[in-house]
A and B are shown apart, each in its own frame.
Chain A
Amino acid sequence: MAQHGEGVIAPEDDAVHGGTTTGTAVEVAHENAGSPGTAVVPTDGVQNPGFPPHYPRRTDVDPKKDARAERQVSILFYLSIVGSIFAVAAYIAFPILPGDPGSIRTNNLLLGLGITLGLLGIGIGAVHWAKQLMRGDESVELRHPTRGKEETRERAVEIFKLGNEESGIGRRSVIRNSLIGALVLTPIPAVALFRGLAPASDPIKPLQHTMWAKGTRLTRDPTGAPIKASDVTLGSAFHVIPEGLNDKTDLLEEKAKAAVLLMRLRPEDLHVSAGRENWNYDGIVAYSKICTHVGCPVALYEQQTHHLLCPCHQSQFDITHEAKVIFGPARRPLPQLPITVDSEGYLVARSDFHEPVGPDFWEREL
């Protein structure tokens, strides 16, 4: 290569193939190089030695190798054809048989392998062709500064000026300002429309109440069978939903708030705070299953330590201490559901939870 201006590469030229002249320094100066900032511009830098000599590939010098590579490429393309045909054949020959999961696997596997061969044959063949048979040496192209040419930039500025003059947008400030005001306001009706994304009612209220009410029976999740206090043996834990939940149309929304875990501990293991003395029934306690962190179900009960663990983010709650947080990112204890038994011996709620269940929210205390 050569110094800029000696005209080895004119920008419009087809890229010159490199490796033709070796050992010459390549230095081209930009007109608009820009400030180097704190860069140390070398005045005494090592000279770029220019392109190294080009070594031909074996396929360039040996016609046999060339012919072999050509054969390989075409074989790969033929393999692709085989793969595509095989895929269609597999589609027909291996249908999905109802009730036979194995047939799904076979269909998936053979169809997939056929398509794979169809694709890889083309891909590997094309790359092999490019690497072995297409012109092997590198080409060179000049870069140009990204910024437009001076005259282009001047013309662009001029066009904006003309636009300004001819419309008078800079001069007629009343028009301009009223236009800006109008443009700012037009999207607001569109934003307002998005209020319709949710029902008109207040979002806070439903977060403060669940399906639990005085006398609601505790039933098993998911069958809905009521639970007798005598069924809850020491050390056992039940996944609980309120009675009647399964008949609800908004089953999942209610369940997302009302799911409860029920455990029986020795009454002396429970540390009951003032005002909650009658919230448990003979050591049977019920706590919201919805994590106070971000709402995952706190589904893992460690029988020996009486700890509840949330499998999502590992918050841990100590049931002996009214489900207070002992580890992990949650910051509030799980709300306790006050329970007792009804005349038939079934566990029932004394009331709803006394605080919102689930994750924190801004208006939680309202």
Chain B
Amino acid sequence: MSSATQERATAPARRSGGFTGAAANYIDERTSISGLVKELGRKIFPDHWSFMLGEVALYSFVVIILTGTFLTFFFQASMAEVTYDGSYLPLKGIDMSAAMNSTLHISFDIRGGLLMRQVHHWAALLFIASIGLHMLRIFFTGAFRKPRELNWFIGFVLFILALGEGFTGYSLPDDLLSGNGLRIIDGLIKGLPIVGTWISYLLFGGEFPGTAIVGRLYTLHILLLPAILVAALGAHMVLLIINKHTQFAGPGKTNDNVVGVPIMPVFAAKAGGFFFIVFGVIVLIASLFTINPIWTYGPYDPSPVSAGTQPDWYIGFADGALRLVPSDWGFMIGPWTFSLNIIAPVLVLVVFIALVAFYPFIEAWITGDKREHHIADRPRNAPTRTAIGAAGVTFYAVLWGAASSDLVATHFKLSIEGVIVTLQYTLILGPIVAYLVTKRICLGLQKKDREIALHGYESGRIVRLPGGEYIEVHEQLTDYERWRLVSFDSYAPLMVRPNARGRITAAQRTRAALSNWFFEDRIAPVTATELHHSHGPEAIHGSAEPAAAELEK
């Protein structure tokens, strides 16, 4: 760039004025930040309520960092034994770890300490909940398709990190409930073949519970996991900007444009405002509702446990998997113990989680679709995927429900054995039923969409024609309304064909079988010709207005 153009570029900043202009100029001359503003300042973000789920996750994470930092100033991640001498009388004189002691100190002796603890815990729950819902939104709208498969995977990593953060944080106060949680983790690890005993021994720094685990979890909780989380979150955001946000089908919206509001000012105001709303709602909940009242549980002791013990809800699916194993699963080979009651649920969870992580790649392989997809699917328009999602949700929900099997039994006055056995069957049959029902519902909705697109919707107005025939008037959609119903991707099952060497490979067969499973039942989108004909002579029953016009001729 010549100096003349530079002069021109900077001159307006100086003229336009005052302190802001000068400051902006100062910064730009040292950072060329104007390029970033030019690139991103008017970037378009599409609007839909479901796009805010990811935002909720992001903002609650900010809240977690803010409150968590406050908590670190007071929390002592030590298992050194102290005698409680704080202002909560029922625990006075009781021996506990410094971790528990300092958590009580934060809750009862520091003004606003309890509030910060509760904001931190509620925000963490919201963080994980919103990540889960965000993932479901992405899944059911197919927003993980090319070019976003990698970002799905990064998001998945964020989800796992969030679970890790949740569990490590939950265990820090060293109270009875979280201590039992750690006890379960210890038992779980010990049950793993070959390495289990050693991993447990190294993790706890000797025998369970030892004096090391709280300090170690603390390092993970406030340093290692957040550092990875922030890095992955950064990558997630950068890819979001590079890929641009998906949008739902709508008139004027195409795979090649983004329709929405610009970052400056509308999106910034909405998103910035939304951050304060999320923060405000979390603080409101934290000021009204108690969460994790460790003072009622008391310090950790390996001997007592309260009935109705269960983990924070987001770990529930893992705890539920442990509960659903039937008795006597396991065997010995020589001196070695294979604890299938541990190995089986761990494997089930790993497979389930791996399917979630790799689903985009599996679907991409089946469809062979290498195009970029920026229009979010309506779930009904991908019936098999939606049905798989429903099956997955059901599977997760049963595991999750199983974590409260004892409470279900006591609250509904059922036998615990009955509840468990029912859940065991539901774990297998529930997803199958959910799959079949969801697929039928999707296909039904697609048929209905097709019908409405072609023939309009029933207006409830009955008209008698001159010939004596009664018909119900169908109101036609406008082109704008119809577009949403007719614009979707549709796939045909893959035909098995020999490759260049005249062979049909096993991979090809698998792919064809999967493709058949996915796309066998297929409702094609309405074509222009069909639409044209639906308004033509054949469509007398379809629409009253053209039909009446026809008769008048």
* B92-120 CB contacts (< 8 Å) to partner A: 107-112, 114-115, 118
* A142-173 CB contacts (< 8 Å) to partner B: 142-143, 145-146
Distance in angstroms between the alpha carbons of A291 and B327 in the assembled complex: 13
Q: Is the CB of B341 within 8 A of A330?
A: yes
Q: Write out the residue numbers on chain B whose beta carbons fall within 8 Å of the beta carbon of A363.
A: 197, 335-337
Q: Please choose the segment from B165-173, B181-189, B220-228 that sits at the chain A interface, where 4 or more of its residues have CB less than 8 A away.
A: B181-189
Closest-by-CB residue of A relative to B180 is A296
A59 within 8 A of B: no
Distance in angstroms between the alpha carbons of A313 and B196 in the assembled complex: 20
B235 within 8 A of A: no
Q: Is the CB of A38 within 8 A of B494?
A: yes
* A45-94 CB contacts (< 8 Å) to partner B: 45-52, 91
Q: Is the CB of B303 within 8 A of A194?
A: no
Q: Is the CB of A119 within 8 A of B201?
A: no
Q: Is the CB of B254 within 8 A of A331?
A: no
Q: Name 11 extra pairs, CB < 8 A, besides A26-B256, A239-B304.
A: A9-B257, A34-B369, A35-B368, A40-B491, A108-B112, A112-B287, A119-B279, A119-B283, A123-B276, A294-B183, A328-B323
B21 within 8 A of A: no
Q: Is the CB of B254 within 8 A of A38?
A: no
A98 within 8 A of B: yes
A-B pairs with beta carbons under 8 Å apart, 21 shown: A1-B252, A14-B42, A33-B372, A38-B519, A42-B527, A45-B527, A46-B482, A108-B118, A108-B287, A111-B287, A112-B287, A127-B277, A130-B273, A134-B269, A141-B42, A294-B184, A311-B306, A313-B323, A328-B323, A359-B187, A365-B332
B300 within 8 A of A: yes
Closest-by-CB residue of B relative to A297 is B305
Indicate the size class of the contact surface on chain B. 35 or more
Q: Write out the residue numbers on chain B whose beta carbons fall within 8 Å of the beta carbon of A312.
A: 180, 184, 305, 309
Q: Write out the residue numbers on chain A whose beta carbons fall within 8 Å of the beta carbon of B258.
A: 140-143
Q: Is the CB of B251 within 8 A of A360?
A: no
Distance in angstroms between the alpha carbons of A283 and B192 in the assembled complex: 37
Q: Is the CB of A48 within 8 A of B186?
A: no
Q: Nearest Cβ distance between residue A107 and chain B, in whole angstroms? A: 6
Q: Which of B108, B192, B209 makes the CB contact (< 8 A) with A96?
A: B108
Q: Is the CB of B254 within 8 A of A28?
A: yes
Query: In terms of DSSP, what is the predominant structure of the interface of chain A?
Result: loop
The 9 closest A-B pairs by CB, nearest first: A112-B287, A294-B187, A37-B368, A126-B273, A123-B276, A119-B280, A51-B252, A34-B370, A123-B277
Q: Is the CB of B303 within 8 A of A44?
A: no
Interface flags, A105-127, vs B, CB<8A=1, else 0:
00111111101111110111111
A129 within 8 A of B: yes
B160 within 8 A of A: no
Distance in angstroms between the alpha carbons of A35 and B370 in the assembled complex: 5
Q: Nearest Cβ distance between residue B60 and chain A, in whole angstroms? A: 13
Q: Write out the residue numbers on chain A whose beta carbons fall within 8 Å of the beta carbon of B340.
A: 331
* B504-553 CB contacts (< 8 Å) to partner A: 515, 519, 524-529, 531
Distance in angstroms between the alpha carbons of A34 and B367 in the assembled complex: 13
Q: Is the CB of B283 within 8 A of A126?
A: no
A341 within 8 A of B: no
Q: Nearest Cβ distance between residue B373 and chain A, in whole angstroms? A: 10
Q: Is the CB of B115 within 8 A of A46?
A: no
Q: Is the CB of B342 within 8 A of A360?
A: yes
Specify which of A38, A124, A327 lies most central, judged by the most chain B CB atoms within 10 Å of its CB: A38
Given contacts A15-B262, A95-B111, contact A197 B301 (CB under 8 A): no
A269 within 8 A of B: no
Q: Nearest Cβ distance between residue B476 and chain A, in whole angstroms? A: 13
Q: Nearest Cβ distance between residue B406 and chain A, in whole angstroms? A: 6
Distance in angstroms between the alpha carbons of A36 and B255 in the assembled complex: 14
Distance in angstroms between the alpha carbons of A308 and B73 in the assembled complex: 44
Distance in angstroms between the alpha carbons of A296 and B323 in the assembled complex: 13
Distance in angstroms between the alpha carbons of A96 and B110 in the assembled complex: 8
Q: Which of B109, B207, B327 makes the CB contact (< 8 A) with A256?
A: B207
Q: Is the CB of B207 within 8 A of A253?
A: yes
Distance in angstroms between the alpha carbons of A27 and B188 in the assembled complex: 56
Distance in angstroms between the alpha carbons of A122 and B16 in the assembled complex: 29
Q: Write out the residue numbers on chain B whose beta carbons fall within 8 Å of the beta carbon of A127.
A: 269-270, 273-274, 277
Q: Is the CB of B301 within 8 A of A255?
A: yes
A198 within 8 A of B: yes
B210 within 8 A of A: yes
Q: Is the CB of B270 within 8 A of A126?
A: yes
Q: Which of A27, A38, A141, A197 makes the CB contact (< 8 A) with B367?
A: A38
Q: Which of A142, A203, A239, A329 makes the CB contact (< 8 A) with B325?
A: A329
Indicate the size class of the contact surface on chain A. 35 or more
Q: Which of B208, B272, B329 makes the CB contact (< 8 A) with A295?
A: B208
Q: Which of A117, A123, A241 makes the CB contact (< 8 A) with B274?
A: A123
Distance in angstroms between the alpha carbons of A230 and B330 in the assembled complex: 40
Q: Is the CB of A141 within 8 A of B43?
A: yes
Interface flags, A350-366, vs B, CB<8A=1, else 0:
00000000111111111
Distance in angstroms between the alpha carbons of A23 and B251 in the assembled complex: 9
Q: Which of B197, B202, B301, B494 makes the CB contact (< 8 A) with A207?
A: B197
Q: Write out the residue numbers on chain A whose beta carbons fall within 8 Å of the beta carbon of B108.
A: 96, 101, 104
Q: Which of B146, B196, B486 makes the CB contact (< 8 A) with A361?
A: B196
Q: Write out the residue numbers on chain B whose beta carbons fall within 8 Å of the beta carbon of A294.
A: 183-184, 186-188, 191, 322, 342
B328 within 8 A of A: yes
Given contacts A296-B184, A362-B197, contact A116 B280 (CB under 8 A): yes
Q: Nearest Cβ distance between residue A28 and chain B, in whole angstroms? A: 4
B471 within 8 A of A: no
Q: Is the CB of A28 within 8 A of B257?
A: yes
Q: Is the CB of B186 within 8 A of A295?
A: yes
Q: Is the CB of A197 within 8 A of B322?
A: no
Distance in angstroms between the alpha carbons of A125 and B405 in the assembled complex: 45
A217 within 8 A of B: no
Q: Nearest Cβ distance between residue B366 and chain A, in whole angstroms? A: 8
Distance in angstroms between the alpha carbons of A120 and B193 in the assembled complex: 52
Q: Is the CB of A330 within 8 A of B327?
A: yes
Q: Write out the residue numbers on chain B whose beta carbons fall within 8 Å of the beta carbon of A179.
A: none
Closest-by-CB residue of A relative to B201 is A203
Q: Is the CB of A107 within 8 A of B112?
A: yes
Q: Nearest Cβ distance between residue B348 and chain A, in whole angstroms? A: 13
Distance in angstroms between the alpha carbons of A37 and B365 in the assembled complex: 9
* A288-323 CB contacts (< 8 Å) to partner B: 289-291, 293-297, 299-300, 309, 311-315
B460 within 8 A of A: no
* B190-239 CB contacts (< 8 Å) to partner A: 190-198, 200-210, 212
Q: Which of A35, A135, A252 makes the CB contact (< 8 A) with B371?
A: A35
Interface flags, B73-105, vs A, CB<8A=1, else 0:
000000000000001110000000000000000
